[in-house]
Structure formats: structure tokens, C-alpha cells
Structure 1
């Protein structure tokens, strides 16, 4: 049975509403400091480990963009919430054997970091009769296991996405390096984003910034921020 708002624990809507208001205030303050319009920054709710009932509550509060990082969790959750008309973002490392599933529900794949994945996504999108918006995930550090294309490889990968059937180049995405001041990394991402836009003017998305560093990302031009903990709380929930 698809979870409805009434299935949520008492008070959960109020909790999420308060968290959402606080996050929106942070975004507005960061935009004011940067001389930007808050309307130019899209909030994407990262709902991993939280139940579909929370997605419904957030949708009822006006959020339309939802992100997940594991297909095993995202696919059934997207199916349960299919009636809400949300845009689902896939933000985790994506293996090619999961591409067919992801292409069936995701509107945006933010974690494209290699040519083989571009080819697989293009084939899957064509088979589904859909167009997937893809972002090039950029590695801003040398840590293995976090995903992302080397900065030098980003322009060619962007070209490949733009030329692929069934795919639309949306822009770039990155995660700030762990344990470092995020702003210098986001400044590097901004320069790469400008380079990509010079070749592909419609690729305007810069997805950067999470609960702890969204202000720095907005100061450096982020158009999308991916927020989980500040919206939903700690990651101790059990998906149901």
C-alpha cells in the first residue's frame, strides 16, 4: 500500500515544515550575501534512508525535487510516490547494471563520471522512450571511492553527453572534499562550470552544497543544493 500523509508519525509534518523553513531561510540569507535571487537556487531533498511517507509530506510542503543515491531504495520509493509528479534525481555512484532501472524513474542523473556510463544511459533512455538530464560529476579531490571525473576530463565528457541520444547535458555536480574548507573547491567547480557553459550554453546547472556547506556553494554560484540531514534529521530512520 502506498504510504499516505496520515501514515506519518504524529508531529512529523510539523517537524519537516520547521526544518524546511529553516533551510529556506539559510538559502535566502546566502543569496542575499552573494547578491543573488533566492529563486535561482533549487532545493533538492535527499531522502535516502527515510520512508516514502516523508517524501509525501515534503511534497505537500511544496518540494518537487527529490534525490536518492541507491537504486535498491530509490526504485520502490519512486514507484510508491509516482502519483506526486516529482522529479527524481539520482546522486550516487551508478553502476552500469543499475542503469536500466534508474532510467525508468529518474529525471536527472547527477553522477555521470565516465564514458561507459554515458553510453549505458543513452541506450537505457532510448529503450524507455525518455530523455534524461545528466550532470557531469566532478572530482574535487584525489580520494578514491567518491566518484567523479577528473577536471581535465570534464569538457570531453560533457561533449559526449550532449551528443548522446536520449540524454540532455544539464551541467556539473560535485561534493566538497572531506575535511577541507569547501569554498576553494566550489570556486574550482565554478570555473569548470563556466568552461562547460561556453561550449554548451544550456548547461546551466551547478549542483553543489549540502546541509553543512550550502552557503559556500551558493556564494560560488550553485544553482542546486542537495540537502538531507538539515531537512529530515539524522540518518537513523528505517525505510518502510
Structure 2
């Protein structure tokens, strides 16, 4: 979703200019994909994946109008959320909303529930109950997406943390009953071989499966219309398949920095 860009923290900073150019390229890709699919680009929310990048980059992104960022490790995300809030306040900027997009251990649920705007990776009942308990304790409502395994090999899908699509309805019904949680939709990651020479249509087929499950869930849970799909390499296929949220990192921020 496009937003007017606030004053940049430092419009002459080389890193800010690099991020601005990356954002422009990705927004152009999204606009072209939306036009090709007959969709309005305003329907799409760009979640800039900032894992392994410093809070200073998130502040720069905030200055460039980014409203949503994604993290996948609680230890990093929790500390960064605090830093970003402080830095943004000092700079007079709106801190981006943080999306938790990685596989989540149950013992980290309380921490994540304290700062996440939306959890994209709910994939099992035990985690749902832990997030519910934490949200209630924090007196807040937490939006969640069901992460579905999109590999045609069920074992491989489970190994990557995704719920088998056949079990989506059962988990969705459970989430709908749990206090503190709001089922917002589904999330999926294309198989590792998607786009490769041996499987050029793998992403398209995977996102089609995701959309099929999403339609079935919305019929029973009308508020669950979000579809989180698509990354730097396959955002066009995701837009064509009806994605509402695109998780893009390297195409904007560049190669990941060294990390521990």
C-alpha cells in the first residue's frame, strides 16, 4: 500500500538513497504486476523484511514511508522493536508496524505477542494457545495468519514449518474460539525449487493452492481475507494469485549483512 513519504532522516545519506532506489524498483514491479493481474496496487501491502539489518535501516525506511517491516527471529526482533520505537520518536517519525514472519517456538510466544502487529507463522494448536494466553495477558488483540506448507511433499512442507492445507480448517476454527487472537488469513512460502529450471511454474502452482485454501477459510471466517505470499524472487506470481501482503527483503535492502 503506497503512502506519502515523510521527511527523510538524512536525504543525502548514501544508504538512504540506496534504500530509496530499492523501494522504487520494487514498487514499480508491484504496480506492473497489479496492472497485469487487473488489480489495484492500493490493495497490496509491502512488508519490508529487515531481519539481520540494523534498526538504523528501519528508521531510514520509516523516513521513506515504509509502514510495515518483517522479522523472523524473536531475540533480534524484540530488541529492534524497542530501538525502533525510541529512534522514531526522536526523529518525529511513525515507527513501522512489525510483522513476525518466521517459525515461532512456543516459549517465544509471550515475547512476540508483545510487539507484533501480525504473526504470519501460526502453524499448530499449541502455538495458537500460547499466543492467545500472551495476548490476553497483555490486554490486546493479536492478528494471526495460518502458515500453510505449499510443497507437494507433505513431509517437506511440515519440515519447513507449514501446516498441511488439509488441517487448515481445524486450526482456523480453534483460533476463532481463542480469546485475544483474530484470524486474519493465510501465509505461504513457495517451494525451494520454485522458479528453477526444472520447475519454472512451481511458485504459480503453490500460490494457487494457497489461494484455494484461503477461499475456503473465508467462507467460514469472513475476516480472514489476507494472503501473505511472495518474496523478492516471486512477488509477481503472488500478486497474480491474489496476495494482499508481499514480504520483500533483498530486493530493497540488498544482501544480508554478516550475523551471528
Under a length normalisation based on structure 2, what TM-score does the superposition of the two structures give?
Answer: 0.87
- Displacement of 1:160 after TM fit? 1.2
Aligned-residue RMSD, C-alpha: 1.7
Cα distance in 2, alignment partners of residues 51 and 195 from structure 1: 39
- 1:217 aligns with 238
Matches for 1:1-240 after TM superposition, within 5 Å: 5=9, 10-82=13-85, 83=89, 84-141=94-151, 142=153, 143=156, 144-180=158-194, 181-237=202-258
Contact 1:5 1:53 in 2 (8 A): no
Q: State the secondary structure of the residue aligned to 1:43.
A: strand
Q: What CA deviation, in whole Å up to 9, does each residue of 1:41-92 have, x standing for no partner? A: 1000100000000000111111111110000100010001124332111011
Structure-1 separation of matches of 2:52 and 2:159:
20
SS of the residue corresponding to residue 193 of structure 1 reads helix
CA distance in structure 1 between the aligned counterparts of 2:215 and 2:107, rounded to whole angstroms: 32
Shift of 1:169: 0.5
Q: Where do 4+ consecutive residues of structure 1 move more than 2 Å?
A: 83-86, 236-239
Question: What is the SS of the residue equivalent to 2:187?
Answer: strand
Distance in 2 of aligned mates of 1:196 and 1:19:
35
**Structure 1 CA distance, aligned partners of 2:146 and 2:250?**
24
Check whether the contact 2:142–2:181 (CA below 8 A) recurs between aligned residues.
yes
The answer on whether the counterparts of 1:48 and 1:69 sit within 8 Å (CA) in structure 2 is yes
In structure 1, the partner of 2:4 is none
CA–CA distance in structure 2, aligned partners of residues 59 and 85 of structure 1: 6
Which ranges in structure 2 are unaligned for 5 or more consecutive residues?
1-7, 195-201
| SS of equivalent to 2:159 | coil
Q: Distance in 1 between matches of 2:105 and 2:259?
A: 24
- Encode CA deviations 1:129-155: one digit per residue, 9 max, x unaligned: 111100000001132531110010001
1:9 deviates by 9.8
Aligned-residue offset at 1:5: 4.2
Query: 5+ residue gaps in structure 1?
Result: none
Whether contact under 8 Å (1:51, 1:238) holds in the other structure is no
Q: Structure 1 residues 160 and 223, CA, compared in 2 at 3 Å: closer, same or farther?
A: same
- Matched pairs, number: 235
8 Å CA contact retained: 1:41, 1:223: yes
